[in-house]
């Protein structure tokens, strides 16, 4: 492991200490995964609270969560964050005593493990309950033969703004990260036929697998969609676009999404630089991209056409062979 003591090089730690002498910051945020020992060491040497990348994501999630399901999912992620840290945290708590057999350390570890496991079982049961309800609802939709289109993408790529523009909803949008943490589905009519559009939590690069796991039940709606719109913020630099594009594809791959269903849509085109966007297309080998700006309304009718082109073959097939296959997938 690089820099086992602090998670940072000792030169950097000195630099931080020096910096803190002249300022009044209360927290250090490290954009990396850290062990409890590294957090403890860095806190001790700087006298300031230390938050690592995962803790920060969890805190943001928690702050932003509004529905009980989102809260449960975050609590689950939090438990998964804590479980591998229990032993080390106990060791740090009782100083030099090793949590060996019979010692008070072992007792602390046992109690904590049992408590976390008990809470985890409770949360999993609650989440299973809401999944059952969700599946029932989903099966009903499949029976109603309503195609589902999902909006996915990096956090703050503009999913909710596009969702609002297509459905005439007024869901909260903002420049903050993780504005949306629960899934919303609304019906809309395209080409004279009804379909369902789903908006959900945004992705972020280097999202640990256990966090994706925790959000799986809500993200599953994206998995089961007939079309997945992967939204890219085109107003960013080509490098940024590429990093975010690939991290979204990785998450979708991890969730075993069928690549055929994915359609790439570039958003915020009103804010983008033409040359930049063209370079991004070339470098990402994207042909026939859809460009939109829900803010100005640009490209929305073209997007509606792309949706119906992608969805209508599904509708045709649904009348015959596809139906039993889809029903099997969701039960």
Beta-strand relationship, 193-199 and 227-233: unpaired
For the CB of residue 301, give the shortest distance to Mg ion in the complex, in Å: 22
180-190 b/e (C-beta count within 10 Å ≥ 16 → b): bbbbbbeebeb
**How many residues lie near ligand GTP (CB under 6 A)?**
23
Full DSSP string of 61-89 = HHHH--SHHHHHHHHHHHHHHHGGGHHHH
Distance of alpha carbon 314 from alpha carbon 321, whole angstroms: 10
Q: What are phi and psi of 72, to 5 degrees?
A: -65, -40
Per-residue binding letters, 292-311, with ligand GTP (x by CB under 6 A): -xxx----------------
Contact between 161 and ligand GTP per CB under 6 A: yes
Distance of alpha carbon 150 from alpha carbon 224, whole angstroms: 9
Residues between 154 and 213 that touch Mg ion (CB under 5 A): 159-160, 179-180
Burial class (CB in 10 A: 0-12, 13-18, 19+), 147: buried
For the CB of residue 269, give the shortest distance to ligand GTP in the complex, in Å: 7
Per-residue binding letters, 105-144, with ligand GTP (x by CB under 6 A): ----------------------------------------
Query: Which residues does 76 contact at the CB level (< 8 Å), separation at least 6?
Result: 120, 123, 124, 127, 214
For the CB of residue 181, give the shortest distance to Mg ion in the complex, in Å: 8
Contact between 174 and ligand GTP per CB under 6 A: yes
Beta-strand relationship, 49-52 and 27-30: parallel
Contact between 75 and ligand GTP per CB under 6 A: no
Contact between 73 and ligand GTP per CB under 6 A: no
For the CB of residue 251, give the shortest distance to Mg ion in the complex, in Å: 16
Q: Which is nearer to Mg ion, 141 or 159 (CB)?
A: 159
For the CB of residue 159, give the shortest distance to Mg ion in the complex, in Å: 5
Q: Which is nearer to ligand GTP, 89 or 160 (CB)?
A: 160
Residue ranges binding Mg ion (CB under 5 A): 159-160, 179-180
Site residues, ligand GTP (CB under 6 A): 153, 155-161, 173-175, 177-180, 202, 267-268, 270-271, 293-295
């Amino acid at each position: 492991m690089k820099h086992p003591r602090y998670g940072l090089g000792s030169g950097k730690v000195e630099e931080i200490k020096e910096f803190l002498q002249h300022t009044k910051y209360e927290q250090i945020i490290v954009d990396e995964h850290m062990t409890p020992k590294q957090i403890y060491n860095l806190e001790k040497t700087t006298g300031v609270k230390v938050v690592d990348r995962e803790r920060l994501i969890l805190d943001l999630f928690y702050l932003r969560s509004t529905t009980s399901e989102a809260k449960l999912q975050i609590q689950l992620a939090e438990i998964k964050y804590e479980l591998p840290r229990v032993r080390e945290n106990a060791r740090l708590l009782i100083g030099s005593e090793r949590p060996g057999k019979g010692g008070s350390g072992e007792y602390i570890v046992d109690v904590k493990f049992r408590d976390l496991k008990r809470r985890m079982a409770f949360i999993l049961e609650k989440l299973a309950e809401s999944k059952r309800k969700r599946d029932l609802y989903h099966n009903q939709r499949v029976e109603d033969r309503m195609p589902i289109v999902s909006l996915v993408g990096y956090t703050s790529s503009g999913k909710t703004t596009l969702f609002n523009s297509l459905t005439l909803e007024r869901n909260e949008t903002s420049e903050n990260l993780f504005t949306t943490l629960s899934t919303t589905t609304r019906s809309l009519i395209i080409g004279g036929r009804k379909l369902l559009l789903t908006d959900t939590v945004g992705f972020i690069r280097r999202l640990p697998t256990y966090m994706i796991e925790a959000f799986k039940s809500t993200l599953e709606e994206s998995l089961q969609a007939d079309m997945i719109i992967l939204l890219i913020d085109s107003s960013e630099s080509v490098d940024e676009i590429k990093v975010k594009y690939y991290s979204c594809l990785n998450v979708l791959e991890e969730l075993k999404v069928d690549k055929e269903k994915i359609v790439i849509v570039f958003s915020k085109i009103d804010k983008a630089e033409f040359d930049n966007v063209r370079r991004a297309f070339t470098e990402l080998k994207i042909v026939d991209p859809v460009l939109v700006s829900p803010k100005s309304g640009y490209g929305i009718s073209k997007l509606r056409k792309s949706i119906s082109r992608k969805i209508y073959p599904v509708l045709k097939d649904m009348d015959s062979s596809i139906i039993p296959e889809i029903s099997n997938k969701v039960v």
